[in-house]
Amino acid sequence: MWLVYVLALVVGGGLMLVQAISGGHDTVDPGHSLDIQHHGAGPGLLSIRSFIYGLFAFGFVGAALHIPGITGRTSALLIALASGVVAGLAAGFTFARLGSAAASGAASLHEAAGRRARVLLPCAADRPGKIRLDLGGQQVDMKATTSGPPIPAGAEVVVVEVREDVALVAPVPLSGGTS
């Protein structure tokens, strides 16, 4: 049985090492835009990655208990199986949670509607400009157009709506009141 534990340890550990070295989506794929984020597309609870973590835990715990003779064969097998299942489910849950949009911290540009922004480059109905606004705790620059008269740089605007990552803005209404 020790051979099964060692094989699981080596295969699981080797695959974890390959995953750690190879990284993730930081390579350029021709024809794939880097600003597209696939939120929620992370590994699920039962994925290959969670299986690999479970396989490694099974091999590690089984080898640690069986080879030095700390426990008997049956108890080492049961504890190793339980450890593998728990580690696989824990890894799957963690990766699924980290892959969700709520955990990413990335703000959607569609959340900009109704927020105030500052015009960086003048915008008009026929010529998009650029605005800067706070979104998700970060300053974000967006293309912007207006349906009214041109808006000069430095003006404060409110985002009316966002279509295809371009904000439709309007000047902030001046607060009334005479002094």
Q: Which residue has the tokens 């500052």?
A: 118
Same domain, 99 and 129: no
Phi, psi of 167 (to 5 degrees): -85, 135
Same domain, 51 and 138: no
Question: In the chain, pLDDT over 70 holds for what percent of residues?
Answer: 79
Closest to 5 in 3D by CA, of 77, 71, 91: 77
Residue where a domain terminates, one of 104, 139, 159: 104
Query: What is the pLDDT confidence band of residue 158, given thresholds at 50, 70 and 90?
Result: very high
User: Is 95 a member of any domain?
Assistant: yes
Distance CA 150, CA 166 (A): 16
Helix (H) or strand (E) holding 9: helix 2-22
Question: What's CA 147's distance to the chain center, in Å?
Answer: 35
User: Is 32 a member of any domain?
Assistant: no
Name the residue with higher pLDDT: 105 or 168.
168
User: Is 176 a member of any domain?
Assistant: no
Q: Which amino acid is at 56?
A: F
Which pLDDT does position 178 carry in this prediction? 53
Name the residue with higher pLDDT: 137 or 167.
167
Note the pLDDT tens digit of each residue in 37-88. Answer: 444 444 566 788 889 999 999 999 999 999 999 999 999 999 999 999 999 9
pTM of the entire predicted model: 0.52
User: Is 31 a member of any domain?
Assistant: no
Domain of residue 59, residue span: 2-25+40-104
Same domain, 12 and 88: yes
Query: What is the pLDDT confidence band of residue 163, given thresholds at 50, 70 and 90?
Result: confident
Environment class of 105 (CB within 10 Å of its CB; exposed 0-12, middle 13-18, buried 19+): exposed
Least-confidence region, from 10-24, 54-68, 91-105, 138-152:
91-105
